[in-house]
Chains A and B, each alone.
Chain A
Amino acid sequence: MGQAFFIQLAASGAAIAVLVALAAWAKIARPSAPLDDAKARALFADEFPERSLEAVWVASDGAGALAKSGGLALVICRLGDGYVARQLPWAQALSASFRDGRLSVDLADVAAPRAVIALPAWPPKELAA
């Protein structure tokens, strides 16, 4: 790899920085209003069409939601202007760490390691048993 390659690499890096700055300046991401119960349920229906929901908890900042569906916890979490969905055993969600109003769920997935959901309390008393 000669000097020309490294010059080309540096120029490409600079071009990327400019393009990313331009994308940030343009503010043309998808509009993503905070989730409410209806929007969260619609997202769960899109992502887990085979599952019925027993209970839904929407994050207080509207950036995610968690639902109970049989023995599974269904998780939706905002990433950028999109959402990421995963499912995990309900017992795992129940035992997830909850600190300062934030539930941190280990998704055990290298592509989506953790979901953080702002909730007033966890676990929910009515379903903890």
Chain B
Amino acid sequence: MKTFDPVTLATPFFILTIILEIVLTRFGKLRANYEAKDTAVSLGMGLGSTVAGVLFGGMIAAATLWVHQFRLFDIPMTAVWAWVAIFLLEDLTYYWFHRLAHERRFWWASHVNHHSSQHYNLSTALRQTWTGGIAGTWLLWLPLSFLGFPPAMIAIQKGISLVYQYWIHTEAIRRMPRWFEAVFNTPSHHRVHHARNPRYLDRNYAGILIVWDRLFGTFQPELDEEPCRYGIVKNLGTFNIVRVAFHEWIAMLQDVARQPRHALGWLFGPPGWSPDGSRQTSAQLKADWQARTAPAAPPELDRAA
């Protein structure tokens, strides 16, 4: 199935803008941090993800086409309303995929890769999973095919979303205009999403439209008084790309093998769940942080959240 692929088209733009971000920072014109090994891992993960995409792409395309046979409606690819509809529905699907990928360990095992850098720059955007095909989150997009959107249209909109999300992985842009920040996902909103500060954990799941987070209660603005600390709760202690790609899968399977009686909890509980409570989930980290800071925090800070 040969279609217009926004990601392939945007690849030269990705390379050029990373060069610009590095060079302009080198000469003091932008704010960014790049560490060579971290950059190598991020870009290597991006390349590996492309290979994995080719390996799993056929299966995903076949499943999408198969479901499309049973479609409810015939949605034309040439109608403007159809593009508006798929823009909204694909972005809503992305929100729930992304939320699931953070809140349940089985899917976090795949998505954690994107968050494991302690940096936040344009190369971080390309730090993509190799195991999305295995995690099966692509199934969430099948209802769009069942509704009647042509598979090519879904693939294009997914590509547009991915390209949109590239430019927001930067510290070089502080804030966009207020109207834009209100409606769209922006560098500021997405910095929060990549932060490991308890206040910022599991917030701002949006792809393109931040309105989903506002609607479903997961929005958190970036606060100047609390700079983002990037990475994951337990940061990686290695630049070995194979460990980076598979560490959470291996850890999860080790937990299941050690305590098969609690397999469901280990697989589908929130990241950080343990049967004896010896580990901490995001909710527990947030609760501890709130207990530590509640008496001292000025009330307007919490209202802003």
Contact = CB atoms under 8 A, between A and B. Distances in A.
A28 B231 contact: no
Given A12-B47, A28-B33, A109-B234, 15 more contacts: A12-B11, A16-B43, A20-B36, A20-B43, A25-B26, A28-B25, A28-B34, A29-B34, A30-B33, A80-B118, A82-B119, A85-B235, A109-B251, A112-B234, A112-B238
A111 B234 contact: yes
A35 B47 CA distance: 35
Interface residues of B, number: 43
B237 A9 contact: no
A38 interface: no
Size category of the binding interface on chain A: 35 or more
Interface of B: 11, 15, 18-19, 22-23, 25-26, 32-40, 43-44, 47, 50-51, 54, 118-119, 123, 229, 231, 234-239, 243, 247-248, 250-251, 254, 288-289, 292
Contact of B35 (A9, A15, A80, A107): A80
A22 B19 contact: yes
A9 B47 contact: yes
Contact of B250 (A19, A84, A110): A110
A111 B236 contact: yes
A16 B34 contact: no
B118 A82 contact: yes
Nearest to B240: A113
B237 A24 contact: no
A117 interface: no
Nearest to A22: B22
